[in-house]
Amino acid sequence: MKDMISKYRRGIIVSVHIVVITIAYVVAYILRFEFRLPPEDELFLLKTLPVLALIKMSVFGYFGLFRGLWRYVNMEDIFQIFKANVAAMVIFVLAVVFFFWITGFPRSVFLVDCVFCTGFMVGIRLCSFFLRNKNRPANRCNKRLLVIGAGEAGVSIVRESRQNPDINFEIVGFIDDDPAKRGATVFGVKVLGAKQNIADIATRHRIEEILIAIPSAGGEVIRE
């Protein structure tokens, strides 16, 4: 089953996006007219749906939404989805008004469709992300790891450890000298203290390895 999904992955992703586009547009119409769709507006929907699907699929392809791996979804991916939907909405509005010369089109449908389509696309990716991580086989004999530095490098290490089943360590906590980060939690990993607390924290939490995640750290800091 996994091999078949990998083989037809691109086709599955494209098909899912087409379904999402259709559902979002229909739901936007239904909500706009409070579940009573007039015949003339039903005709608008049927007439413009293929146009909308063509525009959105083209724009989504341009923004690279069919290439990303959903198990690695992040804020950049979500922002890309938002930009793609806004761009598609603008193009669709122009097509409806200037190319098809359709008048009397319910304008609120544009915005509602954009919101729902964005929400559905983000929701599907997040569900895929959480399901993959939930079903990820647990590593045995994990080493207990303490990460020094709760910045971008440290966060990347935590993210990778959650997504990669081959990593054989458990991140117990962060060490960071920034007072604003003290006691904060990043991806479920707590900032346990500052550098002067390392010895005590390592003993108390049975730490087996320490990883320095500060790219700018010089030799003096590392020796300390």
What CA–CA distance (Å, rounded) separates 89 from 80? 14
Q: Which pLDDT score, from 0 to 100, does residue 83 have?
A: 95
Confidence of residue 85 (pLDDT cuts 50, 70, 90): very high
What percent of the chain has a predicted confidence (pLDDT) above 70? 85
Q: What is the pLDDT of residue 172?
A: 92
Q: Please, which pLDDT band fits residue 108 given cuts at 50, 70 and 90?
A: confident
Q: What DSSP state is assigned to residue 218?
A: -
User: What does the pLDDT read at residue 101?
Assistant: 64
Which residue is associated with the tokens 């009573």? Answer: 36
**Alpha carbon of residue 223 to chain centroid:** 38
- Residue 216, token pair as written in the block: 């700018």
Tell me the two tokens of residue 6.
């990998």
- For the cut 80, the answer to whether the pLDDT of residue 184 exceeds it is yes
pLDDT digits (tens, 9 = 90+) for 132-143: 666 555 555 578
Q: What is the pLDDT of residue 75?
A: 80
Res 96 pLDDT > 80: yes
Written as one string, the DSSP assignment of 111-169 is HHHHHHHHHHHHHHHHHHHHHHHHSSPPPSSPEEEEEE--SHHHHHHHHHHHH-TT--E
Report the C-alpha dihedral over residues 141, 147, 153, 159, rounded to 10 degrees: 40
Average per-residue pLDDT for the chain:
83
Give the pLDDT confidence of 34-48 residue by residue, as tens digits.
Answer: 888 778 778 888 888
pLDDT tens-place string over residues 158-167: 888 876 766 7
Pairwise pLDDT comparison (12 vs 23), residue with the higher score: 23
Nearest to 191 by CA among 220, 213, 169: 213
For residues 53 and 222, the model is more confident at 53
- Asked whether the predicted pLDDT for residue 192 surpasses 70, the reply is yes
- Which residues make beta-bridge pairs with 171? 145
CB 173 within 8 A of CB 190: yes
pLDDT given for residue 221 in this prediction: 76
Total-model pTM: 0.62
- Predicted pLDDT at 91: 94
Instruction: Give the per-residue pLDDT at 1.
Output: 52
